[in-house]
Amino acid sequence: MRISVIGTGYLGATHAACMAELGFEVLGVDIDLAKIEALANGVLPFHEPGLPELLRKHVASGRLRFTTSFEEAGVWADVHFIGVGTPQRAGKHAADLTFVDAAVRSLAESITKDALIVGKSTVPVGTARRLRELIDRHADGARRIGLAWNPEFLREGFAVRDTLSPDRLVFGVDSTEDEELLRAVYADALAADTPLIVTDFETAELVKVAANAFLATKISFINAFSEITEMVGGDIRTLADAIGYDARIGRRFLNAGVGFGGGCLPKDIRALQARASELGLDRTMRFLSEVDLINLRRRDRVVHLAETMLGPLLGKKVAVLGVAFKPDSDDVRDSPALDIAVRLFNSGADVAVYDPEGNANAAKRFPRLGYVDSLEAAVTDADLVLLLTEWNEFRQLTPADMMPLTEGRKIIDGRNVLDPAEWEHAGWDFAALGKRFVP
Ligand code: NAD
């Protein structure tokens, strides 16, 4: 079986390399020529642990190739995965489906043999059924082109592991023939007893957005309690531990901090609200607008704390540790850390940003921030240090590491990974999200 993967970003490049690792011949397709050239040379254009090795291995073996030609994919592959972007529409909450539509249409026009198109992108409910009609309109009718929806749950930073050993597989299908083909693609994971849910298009689409809405809600839930503990005192981490012991709740995704970001959760909860409204269900997902607002207020809180600790920000040197939206990723899409850095810069602060992997992407979006290539360079002479992405390098920070470098001795732990007592004992002004701060 030959596989094409349309869209070779975080999802698609990972999926393509992992499919090659499973033994398939794979063709990655993208409209971005620079990306395709890099990948074809075995160079991964983004950071993802373990993926560069897989890419190089399978480009070298010839099992993994890349092209910008849909015609080549349409003639060659039996199964076509769609992993193109579904970003937030400019100025709207809804998802922009133009990339998905364009990719599916190009494929339908290019396919010259019986084939299966498998959507992996995160889409609003109803998309697959609409695409089914679009395929029928644009295909020549002489071939059988199946359609399935197989949402992707990988986490950046763990993308290879999550793709090779998913915690569940969801197949949204409308024929047993398509289901059988997908079972063959995922034979290894199924042999390893990965739970499989075979369902209709609508459920498959909704599983993905429901999972992301739940995760976002869980994060904002604990962050809402942060607003209370910041006011009355109390320890947000202890609160999370204590409720997390209840197996019905669970401790994961209850880490109080600057909140969620990235290319998925923010746009997915907004797209879900927009889709519900389109369906006439304006109230149904309205709680997600509160989830979004709680999340965004965390950024205000950090800026407010910085102003409380420093007074007017003009000319103050602020070290920002972390701009990626999460550790082990270079993704700065909708990153709370980057947003906070920009807001401090716009208030006149002299911002020095250091992220082990995210600086280059952040610099493309906001070239005017000061980017430095080491933690030492960022914190040297800083009036205030902000820890905003919990890279391991930052989790292990101690006051002793910083003392010789920074006079300011003021720090905000935006991820609740440092020990407040240790820093306060060493004479630092220590603030954290969810912690009452008394100047
Ligand atoms: P991305 O922006 O990194 O990659 C998208 C790629 O699609 C780009 O390389 C772009 O050039 C390409 N593309 C756009 N239009 C195309 C077309 N017509 N033909 C071929 N290629 C085209 O995005 P991503 O993070 O990989 O996300 C892709 C989808 O996967 C989104 O729907 C996202 O919500 C979903 N998803 C992402 C993750 C994640 O962790 N990144 C996890 C699960 C699901």
Residue nearest to atom 37 of ligand 1 (CA): 11
Question: Separation of 100 CA from ligand 1 center, angstroms?
Answer: 9
- Structure tokens given for 118: 């498998």
Question: Separation of 296 CA from ligand 1 center, angstroms?
Answer: 24
Predicted confidence at residue 404, as pLDDT, reads 86
- Structure tokens given for 65: 């190739």
Distance between CA atoms of 240 and 7, rounded to whole angstroms? 39
pLDDT tens digits, one per residue of 94-151 = 999 999 999 999 999 999 999 999 999 999 999 999 999 999 999 888 899 999 999 9
Distance between CA atoms of 195 and 160, rounded to whole angstroms? 18
**Helical H runs in 233-329?**
236-244, 265-278, 287-310
Asked if pLDDT for residue 403 goes beyond 90, the answer is no
Ligand 1: atom nearest CA of 100 is 18
Per-residue pLDDT, averaged over 303-328, amounts to 97
Instruction: Select the more confidently predicted residue: 402 or 6.
Output: 6
Question: Separation of 104 CA from ligand 1 center, angstroms?
Answer: 14
Ligand 1: atom nearest CA of 156 is 40
Per-residue pLDDT, averaged over 47-58, amounts to 98
Q: Which of 68, 264, 275 to mutate to test the pocket of ligand 1 (most atoms within 8 A of CB)?
A: 264
According to CATH, the superfamily of the domain at 214-432 is NAD(P)-binding Rossmann-like Domain (3.40.50.720)
Residue nearest to atom 10 of ligand 1 (CA): 7
Q: Which of 50-54, 81-85, 397-401 has the lowest mean pLDDT?
A: 397-401
214-432 matches 2-198 in CATH topology: yes
Asked if pLDDT for residue 232 goes beyond 90, the answer is yes
Ligand 1: atom nearest CA of 102 is 18
Asked if pLDDT for residue 221 goes beyond 90, the answer is yes
Question: Separation of 82 CA from ligand 1 center, angstroms?
Answer: 9
Question: Separation of 242 CA from ligand 1 center, angstroms?
Answer: 38
Q: Which of 18, 27, 30 to mutate to test the pocket of ligand 1 (most atoms within 8 A of CB)?
A: 30
Q: Percent of the chain at pLDDT above 90?
A: 97
How do the domains of the chain map onto residue ranges? 2-198, 214-432
Ligand 1: atom nearest CA of 151 is 44
Asked if pLDDT for residue 316 goes beyond 90, the answer is yes
Predicted confidence at residue 140, as pLDDT, reads 84
Binding site per annotation, positions for NAD(+)? 30, 35, 86, 122, 156, 267, 333
Do residues 252 and 71 touch, judged by C-beta distance below 8 A?
no
Largest CA distance in the chain: 76
Tokens 């910008």 sit on residue: 68
Predicted confidence at residue 141, as pLDDT, reads 84
For residue 439, name the pLDDT band (cuts at 50, 70, 90).
Answer: confident
Q: Which of 29, 33, 84, 97 to mutate to test the pocket of ligand 1 (most atoms within 8 A of CB)?
A: 84
Residue nearest to atom 38 of ligand 1 (CA): 11
Predicted confidence at residue 80, as pLDDT, reads 98
Ligand 1: atom nearest CA of 46 is 3
The binding-site residues of ligand 1, defined as CB within 6 angstroms of any ligand atom, are: 6-12, 29-32, 35, 83-86, 99, 102-103, 121-122, 152, 154, 156, 263-264
Question: Separation of 379 CA from ligand 1 center, angstroms?
Answer: 35
Please name which of 67, 283, 263, 268 lies closest in space to residue 155, comparing C-alpha atoms.
Answer: 263
> Mean of the per-residue pLDDT values for the chain?
97
Distance between CA atoms of 352 and 342, rounded to whole angstroms? 11
Residue nearest to atom 35 of ligand 1 (CA): 121
Binding site per annotation, positions for substrate? 153-156, 208, 253-257, 261, 326
Ligand 1: atom nearest CA of 159 is 40
Per-residue pLDDT, averaged over 249-266, amounts to 98
Predicted confidence at residue 363, as pLDDT, reads 98
Please name which of 267, 392, 271 lies closest in space to residue 324, comparing C-alpha atoms.
Answer: 392
Give the active site residues.
Answer: 264
Q: Which of 8, 11, 48, 118 to mutate to test the pocket of ligand 1 (most atoms within 8 A of CB)?
A: 11
Asked if pLDDT for residue 424 goes beyond 90, the answer is yes
According to CATH, the superfamily of the domain at 2-198 is NAD(P)-binding Rossmann-like Domain (3.40.50.720)
Q: What is the dihedral of CA 84, 88, 89, 90, to 10 degrees?
A: -120
Question: Separation of 145 CA from ligand 1 center, angstroms?
Answer: 22
Predicted confidence at residue 415, as pLDDT, reads 98
